[in-house]
Structure 1
Amino acid sequence: MALFSLLVAIMVERLKLLPAAWQLESILALYTKQLFGRRQLTSDVMMALALLFPAIVVQVLIWSVNGVMFGFLSLLVWVCVAILCFSHLSQRKTFKRYMQAACRGDRQACYRFADALDPHHSLEAVSEQDLGAKVGQTVAWINYRFYGAVALFLILLGPAGAVFYCSVRYFTDLAKAQNEPLPLVAKLLAVLDWLPSRLFAFGYVLSGQFSNANGVWLRHGLNWRTDAKTIITEVAIAAEPVSETSNAPVCVQSTLSLLLLSKRNFILLVTILSLLTIFGVVL
């Protein structure tokens, strides 16, 4: 079910079939507004409840439909949850606008859309080449946060695990956007990201230049204090050097290289999942 759900979710996300109102972030925003307020979320207990409740609902739903209609309803729940967790229309639109601005030579628009890709971190690029490199790092990081990590949680812990990770990520981003710290979320997200970021970064090692990236992975991956973003971006840079013969604008050469690396890494993940499914390790 994990493989089928993942493939369907990727197809729906690529075709942009899910409306903005049905995006998981939109649903979580409505959920937060209806059931919790800012004052309630300052409590550790209420914050923990807000994080756990969506995952609990999904898990109870899976248990309640288990075996019904020869497992068809269980598969439907897996697919629907995967589609919700993988649909990120706003990030895809912003990246498309950045690429369009780069192709028409609109430097100011490039800087504006580049900052919008990850509004919580300023790029502070000093040149077009530096901008392309930093956007490439941001693309690698976004690819992990919104696709790689979600896929790993879906594979290892099922739909409830994927929903729980997405809920923690949502409230972490909400706290940063409102500049109002929320209890539990930042530390919890760091814990949740520790192992998946190292697994996904090792995929970069296997998908790119092994000799360059392996040393970087060993240096960061074996250091338990290294945060997820550092290991993802540093290994990605080492695994995929910029092509010197590219005809693309300077500010997107590094971005395109790291984007291709991310695509190869995700294909590797799907391939490994297919093998695990064939051998019965993953259902």
Structure 2
Amino acid sequence: MYLLAILLAYSLERTLEITRNFHWRRIILRWQHWQVKSTQLEGWRQHDLGQVLWAIIPAIAIGFVLLLLNSTLITFLVSTAGVLLAIQAPEARKAYKKYLIAEAEEDGAEQAHQLKKLQQAAGRNEAAPVEHLLLWIHLRHYFAVLVYFVLFGITGALVYATLREMRHSRSQRWELANQIINWLPTRFMTLGFLLVGNFSKAAAIWLNSVGNKPQNNFIALTKVAEQAEDLTALTTVALVKRNFLLYIILVAILTIGGWV
């Protein structure tokens, strides 16, 4: 079921244009807004933990209902829909296409404009090369959702997407929380880079990102990718596609073996 849900959701994401009101980001932001507007839990809401607990209620509720229904068909349909809503990144896809057009036309101003949009889609405050932004967008919107879906089902995927998208204060605690939820997907994704890219050059960097004090996930991701492939916008997309295919094959093997 996991494999079919993943394949269907990721295929539909490339072919269907879903209105923004049904993106998981919009659902979560409306949920948070309703809580702020309609409840009197002001003191509770001021705490980061309280904000998180409130925000993940929809994801937990979906998992609880599916557990009660205990229907394979319903679980498959809801899981597919949930993954599809969680991986939506249409702004990034449009900005990337326009960036390539501007690059071909040697329009520096338009390239810079689209690069800024990619930076916003990646949730990065600091400027970064287009290759690094594409890697980070793929990790947060596609690969991490895949990892948490395989490990914890649709509830895990939606909890991750909730923490990725919810509004929160910029604080060290939130930076730590994001470091934690992206740590495992980053290491899995970069491990794949070793296998589909230049293993000998990237292996030492990957081992360092795992064995030593945890690095910033963005830095760990981009460092390994740079060693695994000579990065340009096009080669970066090719690298993440090969890597994603590798993990789809792995999920297929796990499914055949009855482990997922």
TM over 0.5: yes
Contact 1:23/1:84, CA 8 A, preserved across alignment = yes
Question: Match of 2:252?
Answer: 274
Cα distance, 1:43 vs structure 2: 1.9
Is 2:24–2:162's contact at 8 Å kept on the other side of the alignment?
Answer: no
Is residue 100 of structure 1 aligned with residue 78 of structure 2? no
Q: Which amino acid aligns with 2:19?
A: P
Aligned to 1:6: 6
TM-score, normalised via structure 2 length: 0.90
Say what the alpha-carbon RMSD is for the aligned residues: 2.0
Query: Could you give the per-residue CA deviations for residues 123-174 of structure 1, whole angstroms, max 9, x where no partner exists?
Result: 26xxxxxxxxx21111111111111111000000110001111111112xx3
Aligned with 1:227 (options 205, 216, 236): 216
Partner of 2:131: 136
1:184, distance to aligned residue in structure 2 (A): 4.8
| Matched residue, 2:127 | 123
Partner of 1:262: 240
2:203 is matched with which residue?
A: 214
Unaligned runs of 5+ residues in structure 2 are none
- Higher alpha-carbon deviation: 186-195 or 77-86: 186-195
In structure 1, the residue matched to 2:75 is 74
Identity across matched positions, percent:
26
Q: Residue 151 of structure 1: SS of its match in structure 2?
A: helix
How far off is 1:181 after superposition? Answer: 2.5
Matched residue SS, 1:123: coil
Report if aligned partners of 1:137, 1:233 keep a CA contact under 8 Å in 2. yes
Note the residue ranges of structure 1 that are not aligned, 5 or more in a row: 125-133, 243-253
**Partner secondary structure for residue 36 of structure 1:** helix
Q: CA deviation at 1:27?
A: 1.3
Q: What is aligned with 1:90? A: 91
Structure 1 contact 207–265 (Cα < 8 Å) conserved = yes
Q: CA deviation at 1:279?
A: 0.6
Measure, in 2, the Cα distance between the counterparts of 1:102 and 1:61.
48
The answer to whether the Cα contact below 8 Å between 1:43 and 1:183 also exists between their aligned partners in 2 is: no
2: distance between equivalents of 1:275 and 1:153? 17
Partner of 2:61: 57
Distance 1:6 1:162 in 2: 11
Aligned length: 253
Residue pair 1:94, 1:116 contacting (<8 A) in 2 also: yes
SS in 2 for 1:118: helix
State the TM-score, normalized to the length of structure 1: 0.83
Match of 2:225 in 1: 236
Query: Which residue does the alignment assign to 2:27?
Result: 27
| Matched position secondary structure for 1:225 | coil
Change (3 A) 1:183 1:210: closer
Post-superposition offset of 1:182:
6.1
5 Å-filtered alignment, 1:165-180, equals 165-171=160-166, 174-175=167-168, 180=169
Q: Which amino acid aligns with 1:168?
A: L
Aligned equivalents of 1:215 and 1:227: distance in 2? 17
